[in-house]
Structure 1
């Protein structure tokens, strides 16, 4: 699913809030739509507000998905599970329509760019920022896995950067596609450059799958590309299954973490709690402290583009 970023390649001075287009709904449930935030394989993301005025992100599910009974059944289950997740580094699901088309879900709006947009605009992150990013995402995964959910599509566009840390979005929802015939006709579950070997081989998925994707995420933040490169899907997936990660150019402080996260065998990967421990061990003084300037100055300045929310 798409994150809350409209265009990772947009100029820094441009607005992240795009006007509604012809054919867009005006209202979903109690939520009047104010702007577009982005679109992806499962639907379109809009900006709206609660009745009390707090901004929220509304994901409207594509009609062809919503029309599939298997998808609706799985979507209902996954949204119910996602609403139980309340981690500090997640964007919680606060409302949804899971029975009657159009299907949608509302999450807290995070006032910051995706990791993908930040790296595209401003380049790679310094080691201290990457360690705080990895630890925050790992803590989010603890909350997600604690509810029996596997994210399955952890990637740079599903991690948002805010002044007080990262936020993981869309956890578990990709699983709703698995049961549908649409999976075989172009709606892929997962994003190849961030997939784990067991996903590429259609084997059993578990929490360790997300840890591998976390390793890809950390490599991307530190190097600018995932550990097994980019390009055509079949080539990327072949390298993920059969080759070793390309960590050239990754700072040495991150290598112990990445070598464990990117192990081919899921049993050899660390837990989310162990990832946090590895991040602490690699940080200065063995502790992690997040401040308002945990990101590079250019990225922090870019956050302001997300603060001028249209009414």
Structure 2
């Protein structure tokens, strides 16, 4: 049963997501359009740091314009109940989709990978780092991905508080330099893109499951499991998994390589 509460000018219908800091609702605006409303949990509404994080999320997402990224529509950071309003994206999170139906195959997989690279290219072109590209943050409808959740996104030049042993993001999909406490860059987002696409292609997290220590060890050692990923996609994933961030091509480069692959040119990264 829906909640049928109101928040600002929005009628909250159903809870569709919950984390440690916020709850996401399917809601309806005054025009009858479905939207997603993210509200801070009550115990954090008076916490300046939580409000600042929500403001950073709103600022970062507002900069991005992409057919493959959920749009920011509205927000009220200083309200009694701080919240942001985003485009509601129908579909299924990639992790749920693969768990239920298995890996993506063939042309559908290539189109998915390319469109997710285009989404990331649009994010980077806007001067934003997503920092949490992972199967739980990609909504899929057919072969069309939409990147969501800018909860830890940053504008590219913003201060980042990182140190060794501090994991920010979805651990199994993080770039090695982030595990070592280095700054996030567009290259670290590209690594996470490749991890997410590898999961879509194989049905397995590319650095395994189990303890955080074990997963991070395999990431640092470059032990990516992409068995079952088809060529030329597998070659592109290997390029995105390069240990040195400077050696990884950009998201736009991968989108172009995948477009060529879809046309049958058989592009494989050098």
Say yes or no: TM over 0.5. yes
Per-residue CA deviations over 1:51-89 (Å, capped at 9, x if unaligned) read 111101111123444433233234323312311211011
Structure 1: how far apart are the matches of 2:14 and 2:196? 29
- After superposition, give the CA deviation of every residue in 1:4-33 in whole Å (9 maximum; x if it has no partner): xxxxxxxxxxxxxx644xxxx822211110
CA contact (8 A) 1:76 1:99 kept: no
Provide the aligned C-alpha RMSD in A: 2.6
Structure with a larger share of its residues in strand: 2
Q: Which has the higher contact order (CA 8 A, sep 6+)?
A: 1
Could you say which residue in structure 2 is the equivalent of 1:87? 66
Distance apart, 1:234 and its partner CA: 1.7
- Residues 61, 104 of structure 1: 8 Å contact kept: yes
Residue number in structure 2 paired with 1:266: 245
1:307 alignment counterpart:
none
Q: What SS is found at the alignment partner of 2:17?
A: strand
TM-score between the two structures when normalised by the length of structure 1: 0.77
Gaps of 5+ in 2: none
1:97 aligned partner: 76
**Partner of residue 160 from structure 1, selected from 139, 143, 147:** 139
In the alignment, the residues of structure 2 paired with residue 105 and residue 208 of structure 1 have an alpha-carbon distance, to the nearest angstrom, of 28
1:146 to 116, 119, 125: 125
**Distance across 2 between alignment mates of 1:188 and 1:210:** 14
Where does 1:36-51 land on structure 2 (aligned, <5 Å)?
Answer: 36-51=15-30
Contact 2:130 2:152 in 1 (8 A): yes
Aligned residues: 261
Matches within 5 A, 1:202-241: 202-241=181-220
In structure 2, the residue matched to 1:7 is none
Q: Distance in 2 between matches of 1:260 and 1:42?
A: 35
Distance of 2:244 and 2:103 partners within structure 1: 28
1:148-198: CA deviation from partner (whole Å, max 9, x where unpaired): 111111110111112472110113x2147x9999x99xx962011111111
- CA distance, structure 2, for counterparts of residue 175 and residue 90 of structure 1: 13
Instruction: Select 1:255's aligned residue among 234, 241, 257.
Output: 234
User: Normalised by the size of structure 2, how large is the TM-score?
Assistant: 0.88
Q: Does residue 201 in structure 1 map to residue 184 in structure 2?
A: no
Asked if structure 2 preserves the Cα contact closer than 8 Å seen for 1:131 and 1:279, the reply is: yes
State the distance in 1 between where 2:23 and 2:53 align. 19
CA distance in 2, matches of 1:38, 1:135: 27
Change (3 A) 1:60 1:145: same
Confirm or deny that 1:26 pairs with 2:5.
Answer: yes
1:73 is aligned to 52
Which secondary structure state, in structure 2, belongs to the residue aligned with residue 141 of structure 1?
A: helix
Gaps of 5+ in 1: 1-17, 288-311
